[in-house]
Amino acid sequence: MPTNRAFLLSLLLLGLLVVASAAHADRLKDLAAVEGVRANQLIGYGLVVGLDGTGDQTSQARFTVQSLRSLLTQLGVTIPPGVDPQLKNVAAVAVHAELPAFAKPGQTIDVTVSSLANAGSLRGGSLLMTPLKGPDGQIYAVAQGSLVVGGFGVSGRDGSRVSVNVPSAGRIPGGAIVERAVAGGMGGGDSITLNLHSADFTTASRIVESVNAVYGGGTAEALDAVSVRVRAPRDASARVRFMAELESMEVDPGTSAARVVVNSRTGTIVIGANVRVSPAAVAHGSLSVTISEAFGVSQPAPFGDGETVVVPDSRVQVEQEDSRMFLFDPGVTLSDLVRAVNEVGAAPGDLIAILEALKRVGALRAELVVI
**Separation of alpha carbons 106 and 42, rounded Å:** 16
**Separation of alpha carbons 113 and 96, rounded Å:** 7
Number of domains in the chain: 3
Per-residue pLDDT for 176 more than 50?
yes
195 shares a domain with 143: no
pLDDT digits (tens, 9 = 90+) for 26-81: 888 888 988 888 889 999 999 999 998 888 876 667 888 888 888 888 888 887 77
Q: Does 18 reside within a domain?
A: no
Average pLDDT over residues 263-273: 70
Per-residue pLDDT for 122 more than 60?
yes
364 shares a domain with 345: yes
pLDDT digits (tens, 9 = 90+) for 219-229: 999 999 999 99
The confidence score (pLDDT) of residue 15 equals 46
Contact (CB, 8 A) for 171 and 111: yes
pLDDT digits (tens, 9 = 90+) for 204-216: 999 999 999 999 8
Phi, psi of 22 (to 5 degrees): -75, -30
240 shares a domain with 171: no
Kindly report the CA angle at 23 between 278 and 21, in degrees rounded to 5? Answer: 65
207 shares a domain with 164: no
Which of 178, 206, 224 terminates a domain? The answer is 178
235 shares a domain with 141: no
Local confidence band at 326 (pLDDT 50, 70, 90 cut-offs)? low
**Separation of alpha carbons 207 and 194, rounded Å:** 10
Q: Does 69 reside within a domain?
A: yes
**Separation of alpha carbons 343 and 363, rounded Å:** 20
| pLDDT top residue among 20 and 309 | 309
Average pLDDT over residues 317-337: 59
Local confidence band at 87 (pLDDT 50, 70, 90 cut-offs)? confident
Average pLDDT over residues 312-339: 60
Phi, psi of 262 (to 5 degrees): -120, 125
The confidence score (pLDDT) of residue 107 equals 95
Q: Does 2 reside within a domain?
A: no
**Separation of alpha carbons 204 and 160, rounded Å:** 57
Q: Does 288 reside within a domain?
A: yes
Out of 79-88, 187-196, 281-290, the most confident range is 187-196
Query: Distance of CA 354 to CAs 322, 336, 343, 362, Å?
Result: 17, 14, 14, 12
244 shares a domain with 290: no
How many residues would you count in the chain? 371
Per-residue pLDDT for 287 more than 50?
no
End-to-end CA distance of the chain: 16
What is the domain extent for residue 196? 26-37+185-251
Percent of the residues in the chain that have a pLDDT greater than 90, as a whole number: 27
199 shares a domain with 92: no
164 shares a domain with 222: no
Q: Does 11 reside within a domain?
A: no
Local confidence band at 88 (pLDDT 50, 70, 90 cut-offs)? confident
Mean pLDDT of the chain: 77
154 shares a domain with 81: yes
Out of 14-28, 136-150, 255-269, the most confident range is 136-150
83 shares a domain with 170: yes
44 shares a domain with 173: yes
**Separation of alpha carbons 116 and 57, rounded Å:** 12
Q: Does 16 reside within a domain?
A: no
Sign of CA dihedral 165, 163, 65, 128: positive
172 shares a domain with 46: yes
Helices (H) and strands (E) in the chain, counts: 7, 23
Average pLDDT over residues 285-290: 52
Give the residue among 194, 255, 220 at the shortest CA–CA distance from 30. 194
